[in-house]
């Protein structure tokens, strides 16, 4: 049959891989959006002296108690008013995920963005290959859905690519989106002699984050 011939020629392998990538992307989305991003629990409050593990941070910078959930915040934690929790190594609250990106789900968030980018690039290539351009109303009427799909894929690809590149840059510097955007408002950064006291070099920063 035609299906067997396509299988013998390996023509079914690429669609199968694409479908698996889409399924992987969907599973990663639900995993990242539903998992605990690193909420600070009252029973996990850190001791006051733990701030001393980073010698570059002045000793007069004390860990503060959150005014909303009343837990003592670890270093680099922040309260998210949308989630109503303090989040360890808070990066940002993602409206697409309806969840914070923090200490526990940040690496998976990067994997999700990477898989999503591959799916979008692949889908964009398929959509582009199906387009043949003619300057006529008849052509536009028959290809409008494919053209709109390609433009939407292009927009989402640019957004995901920029987000992934910016995230990888911040990870390589061992900083978070919140720390990068609010450096002047964060006490342990504002009073530090170094611009980024957490930076240990690109290789070690990446190794610590992913491994």
Residue 179 makes CB contacts below 8 A (sequence gap 6+) with: 76, 186, 189, 196
Tokens standing for residue 23: 């399924």
CA distance 44 to 167: 28
Task: Determine whether 94 is an active site residue.
Answer: yes
Annotated catalytic residue within 94, 100, 173, 211 = 94
CA distance 137 to 43: 67
- For residue 35, which of 129, 111, 138 has the smallest C-alpha distance? 111
- For residue 206, which of 151, 168, 156 has the smallest C-alpha distance? 168
**Catalytic machinery residues:** 94
């Amino acid at each position: 049959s035609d299906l067997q011939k396509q299988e013998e020629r390996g023509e079914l392998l690429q669609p199968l891989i694409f479908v698996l990538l889409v399924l992987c992307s969907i599973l990663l989305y639900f995993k990242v959006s539903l998992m605990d991003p690193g909420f600070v629990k009252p029973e996990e409050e850190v001791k006051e002296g733990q701030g001393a593990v980073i010698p570059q941070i002045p000793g007069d910078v004390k860990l503060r108690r959150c005014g909303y959930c009343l837990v003592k915040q670890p270093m680099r934690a922040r309260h998210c008013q949308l989630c109503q929790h303090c989040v360890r190594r808070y990066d940002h609250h993602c409206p697409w995920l309806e969840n914070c990106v923090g200490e526990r789900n940040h690496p998976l968030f990067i994997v999700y963005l990477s898989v999503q980018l591959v799916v979008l690039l692949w889908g964009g290539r398929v959509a582009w290959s199906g387009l043949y351009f003619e300057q006529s109303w008849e052509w536009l009427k028959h290809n409008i859905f494919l053209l709109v799909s390609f433009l939407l894929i292009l927009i989402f690809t640019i957004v995901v690519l920029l987000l992934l590149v910016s995230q990888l840059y911040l990870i390589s510097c061992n900083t978070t989106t919140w720390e990068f955007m609010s450096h002047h408002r964060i006490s342990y950064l504002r009073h530090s002699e170094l611009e980024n006291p957490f930076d240990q070099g690109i290789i070690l920063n990446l190794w610590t984050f992913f491994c």
